[in-house]
Amino acid sequence: MRAASQILTESFLEVRAKLLEVAATLDRIDRSLEAGDSLLNEAQEQRKQIDSAIEILLSESSDRAERLQQLFSRQYESDWRKQMDL
């Protein structure tokens, strides 16, 4: 297993870039909303998911990736093949 400092040093610039991208996107959304735009129902749900994802990222657990994957995944349905016409 690599040392935590090594992992952080190797990943810092990539993670920083991704966080800046997320922040810029949220800023653009907020500016549009402040200008009088509104989110459609599906977009409101997506924004709630993003807000929940940020809360997960801010937690201090070691299962953040798993929790994010579950947040953005569909619930398992036993008849998924039929629903998707497969």
Closest CA to 51 of 40, 41, 60, 43: 43
Q: What is the pTM (predicted TM-score) of this model?
A: 0.80
Q: How far apart are CA 2 and CA 11, in angstroms?
A: 12
Res 70: pLDDT: 95
Q: Would you mind telling me the total number of residues written for the chain in this entry? A: 86
Report the percentage of the chain scoring pLDDT > 90. Answer: 83
Q: Which region among 30-34, 42-46, 73-77 has the lowest average model confidence (pLDDT)?
A: 73-77
Question: Considering just the CA atoms, what is the radius of gyration of the chain in Å?
Answer: 18
Domain boundaries, the chain: 1-38, 39-73
pLDDT tens digits along 37-67: 999 999 999 999 999 999 999 999 999 999 9
Res 84: pLDDT: 85
Res 58: pLDDT: 97
Res 77: pLDDT: 84
